[in-house]
Structure 1
Amino acid sequence: MKRLVDTVLGLLFAQVCCVRGMDVAQNPPALSLQEGASSTLWCNFSTFPDSVQWYLQNPRGHLTHLFSVPSGTRQDGRLNATTVPKERHSSLHISSLRTTDSGTYFCAAQHGAPQAPAAST
């Protein structure tokens, strides 16, 4: 029998980052998944982004830049990020989830000059 710690991934949180003149909404706001499952996080924008940045803040507070995706798809191992500026959205797909994937995921839209994400807890 596996222990619960071995089978439950924990929570993946999606936080909203703001850019002047652009509303950003992330869905879903929190997930509780099992290890080995897959998940997709979405960002929707009120205006057309020039580029989208995806970040992960691990439970200890370390912030990692995952992707910069102006348009199209970028992949890095089990992570796949897609941005469709015309449709004003971006997604981050994580396959074969691991406990090390737990944390808070941020999307940040760049419109004009690059902006750093505004982290909130």
Structure 2
Amino acid sequence: MAKPIQVDYTDITTHELTVRKESVLQRLDIYIHKRLPTYSRTLVQKLIKERRITINGDSTKASYGINVGDVIRIEAPKLIVPQVVATDIPLNIIHEDGCMIAINKPPHFVVHPA
């Protein structure tokens, strides 16, 4: 299973976003996630709860409906993406052609993260 992305609160980047009319009444967390897609919506919600995201200098809720001219200040921590290392494993190939491959998978062998 892949390790989750970690955050480094010692390396902060500050972003300031000013809301335009086409974004009015979007939820704050959705708007920020769309503007900064490397930050998951869950992480954005956490940053809002930690008061690292403010609207016009005030703390708010993730569900806040943004308005034209709102200034959103985001203290965004550096994201640390874990390195995924491929493992060379033997495969018991039963059939293989140009369209498909059939493998005899051993029991308890994880083929995708849960």
TM-score (norm 1): 0.29
Structure with more strand by fraction: 1
Structure whose alpha-carbon radius of gyration is higher: 2
